[in-house]
Structure formats: structure tokens, C-alpha cells
Amino acid sequence: MRTVDEDRVRRMREEGSLLTNSGRPGAGARKLRAALRLLGWSPEMCPESLPHRVLTSHVLISLGLAEAELGDTARGLATLDAADRVVTDHDRPILWQQRALVLHRAGRVTEALRLLDAAVPRLARAGEPFPLTSALLTRVAIGMGVGRTGRAREDLRVCEEIAAREGFALTSAKVAHDLGYCAVLDGDIPAALRSFEQAAAGYAEHGPGYLPVLGMDKARALLSAGLAAEAGRELDAAFAMFTTDRFSVDYAWAELTRAQAALATGQPDVARTWAVRAGRRFRRHGDHAWAAIADLTAMRARLATGRSAVRLAARCGELAVRLRALGLEHDAELADLLAARALLDAGRPVTVVAGRGGPVEVRVLRRLVRAGQLAPGPALRELRSGLDLLQAQRSRWGSTELRAALATTGADLAVRGLDVALASGSPRLVFSWTERCRAQSFRLTPVRPPADPVVREALAELRQLRHNLREAQVRGQRDPATRARCADLERLIQQRTWQWEGDGAARRVVSVSAVQAQLAEADQVMVSFFDRAGHLFALVADRSRLRLVPLGGTGAVVETVVRLLNDLDVMCGRRLPARLEAAVAASIDDNVQSLSAAVVAPLRGLLGDRDVVIVPTKHLSALPWGLLPEFRGRPVTVALSASTWSFGRQAARAPRRGGALLASGPRLHHAEKEIIGIGAIHPAARCLTRDTATVEAVLEALDGVDVAHLVAHGHHEPDNVLFSCLDLADGPLMAYDLARLKVAPRHVVLSACDVGQATVRAGDEALGFTAALLHSGTSSVIASVARVPDDLVVDVMSVYHRALTAGAAPARALADASPAASRIPLVCFGAG
């Protein structure tokens, strides 16, 4: 008999196990097979005569998991069967734990759970801390898979205690990871992202192979919050981290998550392709449960195309039976609900949908299907309860971006309710419903960011780098490396904001009667626009009347708005040849007339000569209303919703702290002249110009001020609205910074550039610099939706501020200050 260096074999077993547990099962399996060769083991050997029996069983137990992780579940289980023939009774619970992990990864959760429930108490009595934590983590994963987070959290608490006591750093990272996923299941996305960040730090040091798996779960969290594009970017990074070691069940989960992201971004054919790939990979791995979930995602993709709905509904019903047999009750109900919705959309009868609880997605769809089975009154109550469910979840989140994104989850509820309201023929009901669904995040209390040294350092670096980039652009230089670093810093800051908690407070939707009372008090008329299926509508409300007016197709209006804004930008800030200037001016006039005919002319008889409040829908949010002939010289206020207009009016009446701030940024030739002129009107104002107009100085002066006038180059960032900004002496003042204000300024004027623009998402949720001011509590903002002609705006602003100090409301002051024939695209946003 040859001599075996047992210490060497033990080291190889430990190294192989560590490689597997660190996300590198291929390398782990190679190391473990080499250890078996040193031991001289073969399957034909008699267990009783086997030398080094204990050590051999340990290697086989570790190898079984590594082989299964490589995608060969049958081979992994066969290796564990071999281990079962040689393992001692003392070590048998360790074998059970390992077999349970393999079975769980293959979707055989009932068998796995039975083994774990037997193994956990024996491992605890035997004082085997590492196998015990492994068993508990596997039981946690099973619990999370069926949505039972209570027991999972208790197991995680025990795991964390053991990991802290024993110094199991990788186990601590796994605990943080699983706590994050529990939070996802509970709808607490900020807590989930905080836990994921903690897990990422642990994995980076102790188990980098788990980082792509973490990236998948983070993508799922973002998907559940409605941030599908951001989830896609997270998945891109996760796919890039996968190695050939992990092209197994984890890769299948990544493919499935990619399918779900594609579905959320309106790409059903892409979603179906990814889901089918994932299903095949799950089946090769022997995981029938996840294969069925992949089939469900593929089915949702087919249904999203709108083809063969009745036939697909029958297949959904069959799939629900499969899912239920696999113990996946919530997924089975989702399949049933998808079938019911498809039948309802096809005009077929369905049975009443029962059920309660479950993930938010299921609860929302359940209400949508129930509404389709009910009379209008009860249907709207079901749909309201679904929107209320989402608003309650939204109120627990502090990030404006997260709050806005959740509107996508409730989009079908909003559309269904609007159809019911329109079918009723009641303008009052339509008005109430559009208000309930519009700009819902603006009914929540703004959140001040917590003290965060990581963000503070990142912001300081970002501000300096973006300042350097602007200076380089002025010199005609490009700096790709700095731009890439800025993108990394922006991503870090953005992801930290997603971790902010909300306070759960939300204001109620303002009633039609309350809006009409305020309109009567101010002698104003409100026009609230909305779009349904490519058709534009207007609701016109005054003190006593409320009318619903169909306006025609939305597409032509959208194209005209885009052309108008482009023409205004072309005319601004440059000398054009006379013939070209005349052509652009004529185009502007034609576009203005076209918009007037499309969206205002049908309403003229209802508007009278009163001041106007406009509540635009997404496609009209960037329209410079004051350029339309009906509104020249007339006060026009643009509000995100009737409710935000009402809240803003109430805020404007609050006791004023007084004071004015005048500040200007660099590289604006007219800025000093403008500030001097306005300073004569506000002699007690605090003036910050040139080097004194730093970000911190301007923020400090903005806090609680009555009137602020900021003259600075601005930049709307449609792809990352958090970083829309004004350029100041030491760098950009970003929309993110405004959340730091303790008390929002009452009224703000942004007289340069186009920072009145916004990125408008589902549910007319507006994001941008001006929107950030309004969300922080500012009552009204004067800003431009296109580039501003510097040579004209100086005089306009002087007239504006004289009217303001004389007691005129902002919308009236702007109307009086704007020359009758000018093309200055300034808009009064907020409460007017």
C-alpha cells in the first residue's frame, strides 16, 4: 500500500471546496479529482477496506457539489451517492446538507427541505459551524423561493451570529446578499440595495465568483421598482463577469432575468428568445421548477405581442397546473391571471378570481383582472386599491427616481381605469381618475439625503471633473477618460440615492370640487390634457363647469412640438444668414399656428379671457405655451397635476422668510448686466457672482429664500436626470443637490438655457432640474424649455422682477414682461 500525504490531501480538499464556494466550481472540481487520485480511490473499492475512509468521504462530498454546479446534476448526485457508501454517521448530516444544496439548485425543493430539517439540528449538536451555516443558507434560499421570508430571516440571524463568531467572511457576505433578496420580496428596495452593497464588498474580497449572481439579484430588484433600463445595465455587467466556470444554473438565471428586463422595456420577441434559452439550460440542469418559470416568462412575452390570445390563455392554464404541482403557488396564480386577462381582452367570460397576498406584481394583476369582471363602480374601486397599494410602497422609498419609476407597474391599472371613466361619459369621473394616476410621486414628502461620506467624496470629485470637462469643451478639447470617470461617479451616486428610505407620508388627491373652488378664488381656468391610445383629450375646468373635449391624434402634435423646439434652438445664440433666419422664423410661426389649431382652438369658447393653468401630458410637457397666439400676454401656469398646483398654492401662502438671492455662473456675457439690473430692484438681495457663486454658497443662500434668480448655463441630462445642472464657479449645481435644502426657496427664476425641460416617464412623472425644485417644495419656477436669446432676456427679466415686487403673481409678471412678438420660450411652472 502506497503512502498518502493526508495533510496535502486535506489542503487540496479545502482549496477545492473554497474554489467551489467562491464561484469557481470548474477549478474546484479539478482540484478535488486530483485529491481523489492521490487517495487512490475508485468506485469499486469496498467501503470497509477503504484506507483514509473519512478523508475520502469529505473529498467526495465536496466534489459532488462542484460537479452539480458545473451543470451536471446527475453526476453530482452520483458522486454524493458514492460518498454515502463511505461516510461515517458523524459526518452524514454534512452529506445531507450538501445533497440538499444540489437538490435545491435542481429545483427539487421538497426533497431538499426534508434533508435540511434533519441535518440542521444534528449539525448544531455536533458543533459543525461551517456545514451548519451552509445548511441554513440553503434553507433560506428555499424559503425565499416560495416567498416565506419570516423563517428565512430567522435562519439568517443565526447564520450571521455564527459567521461573526467564527470569522466566516464569505458567509457574512452571503447573509447580506440573502437579506437583500428578502427585502426585495418584501418590496423594500432601498433596504435591499443597501444589503446588496454590503454583500458586494464582501464578495469582492472573499468570493468574486458570486458578484455576477449578486448583479442578477440587484437587476431583479431594479426591475421590481420599474427601472428596467438600469436593470439591463446591471445585467450587462453581470454577464461580463460570468466565466466558463459558471455557465450553469446561475447563467440560466441571468438569461431569465434578461428576458424579464426585455419584457419590461417592451421587447417581447427579445424576451421570448432569452426565456426559451433559460428554459433549455434549466432543463439540462434538471431544474424543472425554474424551467417552468422560464416557460411562464416566454408565455408572457407571447401574450405581449397580442397574437392568438385565446389559444395562449389555454396554454397559460396548462402551465398553471404544472407550476402548482411544483409548489410554485404564486407563479401558478400569475399564470391563471394572465390567462384570465387574455380572455377578458378577447371579450371572453372568465370565472371570478380569488386569491390574496403574494408579490406586488401578482396583487396588481389580480386587481386588474377582477376589475375586468365587474361593473364600472366596483371595477374602479378595485383599480384604486391597486394604485393605493403601489403608492404605499412608493412612500417607503426616498429616491425620487425610484418613486417615479414605480408608475410603470401601475400603468395597466391607470389605462383600464381611464377606459372605464371615459365609457361612463362623466367628465368629473375622468378628471378624478387622471388626477389619481398623474405625477403620483409628487404627492409624497421629499426626502433629505442622509449623511453619506462616500457620496460626499464622489460628489466633490464629480463636480471638479465636470467643471474640467466644461472648460475643455470651451477650448475645443475632448477628454474621454475624464468623461468615463464621471459616468462611474454618477452611477455610484445614483445607486446610493436608491437606498434612501421614505417616511411613508403621502398627500391625498385633491378633489374636483376643491380644484374648482381654488379656480374660482383666482378667477382661473384649468386645462388638463391626457392621451389615450394615440388620441389627445382635454378636460377644461372653471369655477362651475367641467368639460371633456376630444382633440385628435397625438402623433402630429408630438412631431410639431419637436420641430418647434429645434427651430427655437437654431434661432438662439447665433448669427444666421438672412434667408436661413427668415426660413427658420417662418417655420416657428407655422409650428406655433399648427399647435394652436390642434390643442387650443377647440377650447377657445371655454377659456374666455381668464388666466390659464395647464396640466400637460407627457407629449406637451416641453411646449412653450406663451408663444401660442391665444396665450400671448396672458398668464399661463404649467402644473404637473391639479393636485400639485393646489399644494403649491397653499405653500405660496405660508409665512415668508423674506430675502432674495441673485447668482450667476461663468461664461455668460449678459449675466453681470442682468444681475446688476435685478439687484437695483432687490437692493437687499444677496448677490453671488464670479468666484463667490460656488455650489455650497448658492445652496446655503437658496435655503428658505423667498425669491432666487439664477443666471447660469444649464444642462438637462435626459439619460441621467439626477445630474441635470447649472454651471457655477466651482462646478455644477445638480438636481441631486437640491434634496439637501432644509426649506425650499418659494420662487426661483432660471433665466438662461433650457433647464425647464424634463424627462417624463410613465404616469406623467417628470424628472429634471426644474422638477427637482418643485418636488423639494418650491411653489413656482420660471424656466425655459428651449435655448434663450441672451440679448432679449436681460430686459425681460428686469420688467419681470419689477412686476413681481409690485405684487404680481409669477405667471402674470411673466406675461406682462414678455414682448408681444418675442420668441422667448420661458414658462411658469408650479402654482403660478
Quote the percentage of the chain above a pLDDT of 90. 66
pLDDT value of residue 244 = 53
- Asked whether 632 and 650 are in contact (CB, 8 A), the reply is no
pLDDT at 41 over 90: no
pLDDT for 353:
66
Lowest-confidence pick of 151-155, 263-267, 649-653, 800-804: 649-653
Confidence of residue 72 (pLDDT cuts 50, 70, 90): confident
Hey, which residues does 743 pair with through a beta bridge? none
Phi-psi region of 701 (alpha: psi -120 to 50; beta: other; left: phi over 0): alpha
Taking all residues of the chain, what is their mean pLDDT, rounded to a whole number?
91
CA 35 to chain centre: 48
From edge to edge, which strands make up the β-sheet containing 714-715? 714-715, 725-728, 731-734
The CB density around residue 621, as the number of other CB atoms within 10 Å, is 24
Predicted TM-score (pTM) above 0.95: no
The backbone torsions φ and ψ at residue 339, rounded to the nearest 5 degrees and listed phi first, read -65, -45
Phi, psi of 552 (to 5 degrees): 120, -165
Residue 820 in this model has a pLDDT that exceeds 80: no
Alpha carbon distance 377, 421 (integer Å): 10
* Residue 499 phi, psi dihedral angles, 5° rounding: -90, -5
C-alpha cell at 587: 417655420
Mean pLDDT of 228-252: 80
Q: Which of the residue ranges 197-211, 234-248, 759-773 would you say has the lowest mean pLDDT?
A: 234-248
Separation CA 249–CA 583 (nearest Å): 62
Gap between the Cα atoms of 60 and 57, Å rounded: 5
Question: Has residue 390 got a pLDDT over 60?
Answer: yes
Kindly state the percentage of the chain with pLDDT values over 70.
Answer: 98
3-state secondary structure 767-792: ECHHHHHHHHCCCEEEEECCCCCHHH
Which pLDDT does position 48 carry in this prediction?
A: 65
247: pLDDT confidence band, cut at 50, 70 and 90? low
Q: Give the pLDDT band (50/70/90) at residue 655.
A: confident
pLDDT for the residue 484: 93
